Structure 1
Amino acid sequence: MASDMGNAGQSGIIWTYFHWGPTAWAMYCVVAICLAYSHHNLGKTLTFREATVDILPAAVRRPAGVVIEPLAIIATVLGLATSFGFAAMQFSSGLNAFTGVTSGPLVWMIVIVVLGTLTAISAFMGVNKGMKRISELNSVLSIVLVVGVFVFGPTIFILSNMFQTFGGFFASFPAMSFWTEAEAAGAGAPWDELWNGPWTVFIWCWVIAFSPFVAGFIARISRGRTLREFVLGVTIVPSLIVMVWTAVIASAGIRYDDQNGLVISEAVNEDLSVALFRMLEMVPGIGILLIIMATVLVATYYVTSLDSGTYALAEFVSAPKKSGPAFRVVLVISIATVAAVLAVPRRRGRGGHRPDRHDHRRLPVLLRDHPDDREPDPATARPQRRSRADRARDQRPRAPPRGRVRRRGRDPRPQARRRRGHLRAPADVPPARRPKG
């Protein structure tokens, strides 16, 4: 397993590499290869149904396709909506860092509406005009942000910790891949109370939910690539970029946290979304500029993610026809609505907010079951009161079904009258007596 080796934050960085590095991008790559090969090489529609049904027996391909395609669509919608909630919370924390606006459900709703509107405009303009321009802005701001932290921050410590954590990750990768926290799991602890549950399991479930639209978008833009180029461009290069970016930002955060009495750790214990901004405000000289840049990046990154997600989702839903911009706008509004529902804290009946069993600012908590939300026990539940009209409707006798009811047993009609082509009456039979076919 990953060891600290004298560095208190090294294990956290190594586990971040593990969660967001090669394993996550390998999941995207596997799904994208299946879609790309089915679409570009076999000439099929770019849908999960067409890419997967060939491995099944011919008798079950049609019903299996009916099940597979809605599952991919639902996974895409929920993955994008969950990310939308996270983006709204982190964007609100960024606003609080340099404007003083308190982060809360009302601010989250406003952020979701604003980001949803920007995404709808980008989706309506298309890939070449909307998404391309925002993606180019993302690339420039990301490079400027990480270079600013590297140059104005603890440069020597960042370089040293980067190489050290890279070595620790590659040395511990096999053990981390097979670690299941067996002692606690064997003792009967529920999965959400284990460390693996809200971290590795949740993050990779999120990656799996993201894989339909990420893989579909990658497959569409990868025409003409060889498999070697495809794997290199989808797995190796993005993983290295993620690991370098994480090493620079996280190493600076660890250094500043140690030098300032663990103030970043205390802030993170209260709200996870403030970690990046608490670190950036400690960068000498350009801290406030980096905070503004990071806040803009949170918004633009998710606008491009949601834009590409709705583009791929529209292709899945409208295949084999080409989707129009108005339909993509409708998808953006639908996903924003789901994100708004997930981001608002749930209430318990007439008593207001439920007890703070978990931190209400962490969106995954809203997706878990609470004991008060379970179905009531039929043995102890009070019977529901019914109106007089409902009781009268139940006691009203039902009318028999209309139409002729065929009796069971032998069919009385002649065999010749059941065959196609033998329903003509003989020529010598008068018209009034001809049997009705």
Structure 2
Amino acid sequence: MTLPPDRGKPAVPRLAVVFARGAVSPGDLLRSLDGAAELLFVTDGSAHSRALRGLFESAGEVVELSGDPAADAVAVKAFGPDAIVTYCERMLRVTADLAEALGLPFHSPDTVHLLTDKHAQRRRLREAGLEAMRFALVTSPAQAREAAVAVPMPAVVKPVRGEGSRDTFVVDDADSCLARLTDLLSRPDRTAGGYIVEEYLVGVPHPHHGDYVSVESVCVDSAVHHVGITGKLPLLHPFRETGQFWPSALDGAAEAEIAALTSAALAALGVTRGITHTEIKLTPHGPRVIEVNGRIGGYVNELYGRALGVDLVIVAARVALGQPVRLPDGPRPARVHFQHYTQPPLGARTLAAVEGTVRHPRARHRMFTRPGDRLPGGVSSFDLDLLSGDADTHEQMLEVVDECAAQLRFTFTGHGAPSQLSGRDLRRGPRYGAVHGADR
């Protein structure tokens, strides 16, 4: 027997997409969600989002957040959404609050707190028996002095809330730890929520790969499906990312151990639905959790789209809407799919020029910046470009990346004479001039 459609509810579902600059570009967002639902874009008040308003209005309705949670909930409710989703780290809390106010499924506010507060996350993982490192929360000079003594050195200092390795440093001893914290706490633009000081996890060294991986997971009704374990290219000082690849170079036993740890961490944090991106350090004593993020990882959708034909943007939307999703569960691919992103030298302030064109049968290149663009300085990751490609082996991947990087030359300016460096030079992480961003 076929029941007639419910005339009181539209045949096409309605999806609220909470947007700010994040892991998914506006173009990818619109392409992936085209035809999936009637869309409401709930945007922050940034200049970036306002510049995109016309683009979003071509695909759906737009509500700009006012900063008044009650008023924002009323504005979103008027659209009549069936579900809500975000692809941006900094919008997780807003999305959770809207979901709770509107009775829509999403991470609970408690879970979002654990996903976005690094100190609370460490504490919960320790309570679950998944964490043994020592760490301390610092919100005042007194706590800074206590942390410098209590946490074994070397240690990592990073914001309790943040992304892109912003204001993240390695400190070698108690004196340098206290000096770094004193500087961070004195800044007028210091991060809300304070800083966490935690033991530095020493990784297993590899000559050409990073000593960490990420796990891309989809959670539906508490069931976890790990789409893949993503290998990483080496970090540049202090924690700037340079690329990733899939499949990883790890064996099946190592990947199984990493997957089990990730599942346990997600359960401990109360994650029951949505997409997560979990970073795992590879140590001599086994895998350790770096952090769990409650959203798609940067460029992960592009990587897995090429490698597996899976669109994680639409997967996240379908999970939110309660629709069935099909995820790949087959053998590892015959090829290695990779991405590489060029980082500017620490201390550079402006990208003055870019010369050369990347030409390679196994790769595609896209610039994110143009001559004249200001650079943020500091020590956060800032991707000048994206190189995407594939190779027959992990060794060939490195050769392709190196060949492509050598075809580009970048000129930077700062507080000294202009500096010209090839993409190959930049893979080694040079610094611009005597005074560099890491010391500011």
TM over 0.5: no
Q: TM-score, normalised by structure 1?
A: 0.23
* Structure with the bigger percentage of helix: 1
Q: TM-score, normalised by structure 2?
A: 0.23
Larger Rg over CA atoms: 1
| Structure with more relative contact order (C-alpha pairs < 8 Å, separation 6 or more) | 1
